[in-house]
Chain A
């Protein structure tokens, strides 16, 4: 057996797994989106063309979930990338306690989203939440407020919890970029009289742009799939105001048993992610 033949043999299991568990399901979902298919009616399916999509684009709940998902994505990703840049700068410096910071930073990343969701839910509790307690004692609020019962504050808590969990990961990616910057380049600039801020914006930041671009796109795609943190914190409430696209789709599938319409929702999520993916791969091949 030649090495090339072995190569083909070696990728076969992976290709089979991908075909069965990813490619086929995606095509099946897209296909089902053109059918009327409800659990209540058994296995009966009838072709209805684009009707599910017409229904979808005239349903306020779809727009509400889309709006929430986009808002959540923008708020989390921009803040996370900003904080990631800042943390990375800290982690890249030389000082006592550096490895402790790196350890602390890994904890939010390592723990399950559902756990971090419950911790935050406990911290913002309206009767014995520590955040209410702290905010009240420093005078930001007059009395304990039910954070998760109002759409705006509930969204703020969700966004904060996600930022807490994910910024550390971004900062590690940025750190990788920082460590690739040649020390000699920075020293030359500082001999030439550039101060720290000038050095940052003329050398460090431009060098980080490729890594930031990719990290941002990856995070956009991941954040768009938001689901678990919502289940732990608000379960979509109050009054569906924090219902993400994924949560809405999942409820359509498994609570309402409407597989045709659910598939159309999933296809919309997929195609918006697909356009992101195209950007990512285009960006990647440019770098090659």
Chain B
């Protein structure tokens, strides 16, 4: 706590400055999404005649609703699959004495840091061979790869933190290892799995490169769709800002309601200590 009054004034001045600096671009996006075009050109701080017209235009100029549905399906399924396989792997690393844990963790780390450009062309060919280009399936699989590395990395500490006694006493009572996993361990780590799921979902929702390369014709995601508002060197800023507000509303809502969990998740698993 800061004691001297003058220190407190300086402190709050700095704090306000930082908050404005960080929050301003977001404020500007929101403010302009409600302005008629004339006010955008006149650079008004706040809309004088607030209008929903930009939001209507955002949905009519491009099929924004189907972009949203595509992203929801792709990010949702990629997250679910990554959590399923990721929690199994994290359990195996944290709770069993399998060999090769170190190389496995190193592999996971390397893949999570892999430049997408190194794998994009072979993956494109694999997906073409499987007829998964321009479909939800192809992007679900690719996003699952990156969500999976994130899940294992963040979930392993959660599994490590469950006391071993719980599992030991259950297996003395005759429970099989698989029963221990489903009925004892999973309920305890469920909140952690949920948090990691949020992080994975945000990552998949925001993915751009693969979404652009693999689905150029059909099944466009929100990130790819946003770029389509720009046409012939003309950018309709009002509708574009409105569309980008719509795209980030689910994310902002998640961040607001689950702020504590997300920050905890980033801080606990973000780096190995």
Please report A residues at the B interface, Cβ cutoff 8 Å. Answer: 1-4, 6-8, 10-11, 13-14, 17-18, 20-22, 24-26, 28-29, 32, 87, 90, 93-95, 97, 99-108, 110-116, 118-123, 125, 127-128, 130, 133, 164, 168-169, 172-173, 175-176, 179-180, 210-211, 214-215, 218, 221-222, 224-225, 227-228, 231-232, 245-246, 249-250, 253-254, 259, 262-263, 265-267, 269-270, 273, 276-277, 280-281, 284, 287
Contacts and interface: CB of A to CB of B under 8 A. Distances in A.
B9 interface: no
B190 interface: no
Given A22-B145, A119-B29, A122-B241, A10 B92 contact: yes
Contact of B121 (A29, A108, A172, A179): A29
Contacts, number: 266
Contact of A266 (B19, B106, B115): B115
A7 B22 contact: no
B15 A270 contact: no
Contacts of A277: 109-110, 113
A176 B96 contact: no
Contact of B115 (A102, A106, A169, A224): A224
B118 A270 contact: yes
Given A8-B92, A25-B118, A215-B271, 4 more contacts: A21-B123, A110-B202, A172-B270, A228-B208
Contacts of B113: 218, 221-222, 273, 276-277, 280
6 contacts: A93-B11, A122-B29, A254-B213, A263-B121, A276-B113, A281-B106
Nearest to B42: A128
Interface string B143-155: 0110010001000
Contact of B92 (A11, A254, A273): A11
Contacts of A18: 107-108, 111, 145
A281 B254 CA distance: 33
The B contact surface, by secondary structure, is helix
Given A104-B22, A112-B205, A225 B115 contact: yes
B168 to A, nearest CB: 11
B132 to A, nearest CB: 12
A263 B121 CA distance: 8
A14 B86 contact: yes
Contacts of A281: 106, 109
B209 A29 contact: no
Interface in B72-105: 85-86, 88-89, 91-93, 95-98, 104
A114 B223 contact: yes
Contacts of B2: 93, 95
Contact of B272 (A175, A214, A246, A269): A214
B263 A26 contact: no
A111 B148 contact: no
A270 B175 CA distance: 46
Contacts of A215: 271
Nearest to B97: A4
Contact of A111 (B91, B104, B251, B271): B251
A232 B202 CA distance: 19
Q: Which of A118, A133, A265 has the most CB of B within 10 A?
A: A118
Interface string B4-37: 0000000100110011001101101100100000
Contacts of B263: 102, 106, 172
Contacts of B248: 110-112, 115
